[in-house]
Amino acid sequence: MNVFQEAAIVAGKDLRIEARSRVTMTQILPFGGVVLLLFAFALDQKKILRQVAPGLFWVCVLLAALLAVSRSFSIEQQNGARDGLRLSGLDGAAVFLGKAGAIGAELLVLELVLGIGVVVLYGIAPASIGVLLLTAVAATVSVAATGTLYGVLAAGLRVRETLVPLLLLPVVAPVLFGATRAFELALHLHPHSHASDAWPWVGMLSLFAVIYASAGTLAFGTLLEES
Amino acid sequence: MRLLGRRATTALGAASLVALAVLVYLGLWASPPDVNQSDGVRLLYLHVPSAWLAYLAFFVTAISSALYLWPRTRSVVWDLVAGASAEIGVMFTALTLVLGSLWGRPVWGVWWAWDARLVTTAVMFFLYLGYLALRRIPGGAEVRGKRCAIAALIAFIDVPIVHFSVNWWRTLHQEGSIFNDEMKAHIHGLMAFTLVWGVIAFTVLYVYLLSRRYRLAAIEEQMEEREIDRAIAERIERDTPVLEAGARP
Q: What is the pLDDT of residues A12-51, one digit of tens each?
A: 999 999 999 888 888 999 999 999 999 989 988 878 888 8
| Whether pLDDT at B178 is above 60 | no
Q: Is the dihedral of CA A20, A145, A189, A63 positive or negative?
A: positive
What is the average pLDDT across B207-214? 95
Closest CA to B103 of B169, B179, B45: B45
What number of other Cβ atoms are within 10 A of residue A163's Cβ?
Answer: 19
Interface probe with B: pick from A162, A166, A193, A214, most Cβ of B within 10 Å: A166
Residue numbers of chain A with a pLDDT score lower than 70: 226-227
> Rounded to the nearest 5°, which phi and psi values hold at B34?
-80, 150
Answer with the residue of higher pLDDT: B31 or B36. B31
Which chain B residues are Cβ-neighbours of A163 within 8 angstroms?
A: 130, 133-134, 137
**Rounded CA separation A46/A59 (Å):** 18
Q: Higher-confidence residue: B140 or B180? A: B140
pLDDT at B180: 52
How far apart are the C-alpha atoms of A215 and A195, rounded to whole Å?
31
Inter-chain CB pairs, A–B, below 8 Å: 72
B12 SS3 class: helix
Whether the pLDDT of residue B182 is over 70: the answer is no
**Average pLDDT, rounded, for chain B:** 86
- State the residue range of the domain holding B117: 6-169+183-247
> Nearest 5 degrees, angle CA A193-CA A198-CA A199?
140
Higher pLDDT, B18 or B242: B18
**A interface with B, Cβ–Cβ below 8 Å:** 146, 149-150, 153-154, 157, 159, 163, 166-167, 169-171, 173-174, 177-178, 181, 200-201, 204, 208, 211, 215, 219, 222-223, 226-227
Q: Do B146 and A223 touch (CB under 8 A)?
A: yes
The Cα–Cα gap between B42 and B174 comes to 16
Main-chain dihedrals φ then ψ at residue B38, nearest 5 degrees: 45, -125
d(CA A175, CA A189): 19
Q: Give the pLDDT band of residue B174 (cuts 50, 70, 90).
A: low
Q: Is residue B195 part of a domain?
A: yes
**Taking the CB of residue B191, how many other CB atoms lie within 10 A of it?**
22
Angle, CA of B60, B65 and B67, to the nearest 5°: 95
Contacts of A208 in chain B (CB under 8 A): 161, 165
ipTM computed for the complex: 0.86
Q: Is residue B183 over pLDDT 50?
A: no
As for how many domains chain B has, the answer is 1
Distance CA B76, CA B2 (A): 13
| Other C-beta atoms lying within 10 Å of the C-beta of residue A79 | 9
pLDDT the model gives residue B19:
94
Phi-psi region for residue A191, left (φ > 0), alpha (ψ -120 to 50) or beta? beta
Which letter does DSSP use for residue A195 in this model?
Answer: G
Chain B hits for A215, Cβ within 8 Å = 154, 157
How many CB atoms neighbour CB A188 within 10 A? Answer: 14
Residue A132: per-residue pLDDT: 93
Question: In this complex, which of B127, B147, B155 lies closest to A223 when CB atoms are compared?
Answer: B147
**Nearest-angstrom CA–CA distance, A175 and A80:** 34
pLDDT of residue B88: 96
Q: Which residue of A has its CA nearest to B147?
A: A153
Closest Cα to residue B46, out of B29, B34, B28? B28
DSSP-H helix ranges across A75-91: 81-87
Domain ranges of chain A: 3-226
